[in-house]
Amino acid sequence: MTTYKGSCHCGDVRFEVELEPEKVIACNCSICSRMGWWLAFVGSEQFTQVSGESALTDYQFGKEHIHHPFCRRCGAHTFSHGLNERGERLYSINVRCLAGVDLEKLEVIPHDGLSA
């Protein structure tokens, strides 16, 4: 596993995540398609919020079971989180917000979240 540093555009929100991104999910649901997210999923043990927790504003919609925090200063959506079917916290990482990831080398897997 590699530890990547992630941040919002202005740098107020910073985090670290351990993953090996080879494949990412490109979901067509209403929020992912509008935000241009490429998603990788990790458990809470692989995610560390380094700074900026107070800079985040939470957004929820629909069933309101997924938190979509974003930076109140620059508006960037860097990650979201919710609980999996076992009640464990799961993070979806916006891979486009990670330093050092070569986006050209990632396999993009489409996901039809719009129909889900």
Token pair in block for residue 116: 């889900």
For residue 86, give its domain range.
Answer: 2-21+38-102
Q: How many Å separate Cα 87 from the centre of its chain? A: 19
pLDDT tens digits, one per residue of 42-51: 999 999 999 9
Residues 6+ apart with CB under 8 A from 28: 110, 111, 112, 113, 114
Report if residue 28 sits inside a domain. Answer: no
pLDDT tens digits, one per residue of 4-38: 999 999 999 999 999 998 999 999 999 999 999 99
The predicted pLDDT at position 63 comes to 84
pLDDT tens digits, one per residue of 60-116: 988 888 999 999 999 999 999 999 999 999 999 999 999 999 999 999 999 999 997
Report if residue 75 sits inside a domain. Answer: yes
Report if residue 27 sits inside a domain. Answer: no
Give percent above pLDDT 70 in the chain: 100
> What is this structure's pTM?
0.91
Report if residue 116 sits inside a domain. Answer: no
CATH code at position 88:
2.170.150.70
pLDDT tens digits, one per residue of 68-77: 999 999 999 9
Domain count, the chain: 1
Report if residue 47 sits inside a domain. Answer: yes
Report if residue 57 sits inside a domain. Answer: yes
